[in-house]
Copies of this chain bind each other. A is one copy, B any other.
C-alpha cells in the first residue's frame, strides 16, 4: 500500500509530469518538422496525426502487476518504456521506416531500442514500430536525457489497436475469447490491406 502511494505521488508529482510534458511537446514538434522535411521530397504528408500522453497511474499498476514487478516508481521508471509516449500515424507502411530514419538523425535524440511489431506482429495481431528513445532537455542544472516511447503505425494498424485496447479491459470475460479470434482475423485483413494500398501507391508514383 505504501509503495502504491509513492508510485502515484511520483507519477502525478510535478517534476516527472512536467518534464514528461516537455519531452512530449519537443517530440511532437520534431515530428512536425520531419513531416515538413519529407513533404519537400515526396510532396505528400507522411505523418497524418500525432498524439502524446503520460501513462496513467492505473495503467502503470496494471502493467507492473502483469509483469510481476514491484509497484514502485524506480521500478516503473526502469521497466516501463512508455511512461511517456508519443504516437504518429503514417500514411503508408514504408513511410514508417522513413520517419524512423529521420528520428535517428536528430542531434538531441538517441535510439535505445527498436521493436518492430510490423515485421514480427504480436500473437494478438498487434502491429506497430516502437522506438525507445532518449531526448535531451535543458534544465537549469544542465542537460537531462529522458526516456520516451515513439509508436509508429498506419491508420489501419491504429484502427485495429484502438479496438483491441477497448477489449483489453474486458478480457477474462468468457465472450472475450471469441472476439480475440475475430480481432486476429481483422489484423490479417489489415496487414493485407496495408500491403495492397502500398502497392497501388507505388504504381501511382511511377506513372
Which residue numbers of A lie inside 8 Å of B, CB to CB?
A: 14-15, 18, 21-22, 25-26, 28-29, 32-34, 36-41, 44, 48-49, 91, 102, 105-108, 136-140, 142-143, 154-156, 158-160, 162-163, 166-167, 170, 173, 175-176, 179, 182-183, 185-186, 189-190, 192-193, 196-197, 200-201, 203-204, 206-207
Contact of A138 with B207 in the complex, beta carbons under 8 Å: no
Contact of A207 with B175 in the complex, beta carbons under 8 Å: yes
For A21, give the chain B residue with the smallest CB separation: B36
Q: What B residues does A183 contact at CB under 8 A?
A: 200
Q: What B residues does A142 contact at CB under 8 A?
A: 105
Q: What B residues does A29 contact at CB under 8 A?
A: 25-26, 28-29
What's the nearest-Cβ distance from chain B to residue A77, in Å?
19
Contact of A139 with B37 in the complex, beta carbons under 8 Å: yes
Contact of A26 with B33 in the complex, beta carbons under 8 Å: yes
Contact of B179 with A203 in the complex, beta carbons under 8 Å: yes
Contact of A176 with B36 in the complex, beta carbons under 8 Å: no
In the assembled complex, the Cα of A23 lies from the Cα of B197 at a distance in Å of: 34
Contact of B140 with A37 in the complex, beta carbons under 8 Å: yes
Q: What B residues does A106 contact at CB under 8 A?
A: 138
In the assembled complex, the Cα of A175 lies from the Cα of B200 at a distance in Å of: 11
B25, B48, B49, B193: the one contacting A189 at CB < 8 Å is B193
Q: What B residues does A138 contact at CB under 8 A?
A: 33-34, 37, 102, 105-107
Contact of A203 with B189 in the complex, beta carbons under 8 Å: no
Contact of A163 with B107 in the complex, beta carbons under 8 Å: no
In the assembled complex, the Cα of A49 lies from the Cα of B160 at a distance in Å of: 16
For A48, give the chain B residue with the smallest CB separation: B49
What's the nearest-Cβ distance from chain B to residue A207, in Å?
5
What's the nearest-Cβ distance from chain B to residue A149, in Å?
19
For A193, give the chain B residue with the smallest CB separation: B189
What's the nearest-Cβ distance from chain B to residue A53, in Å?
12
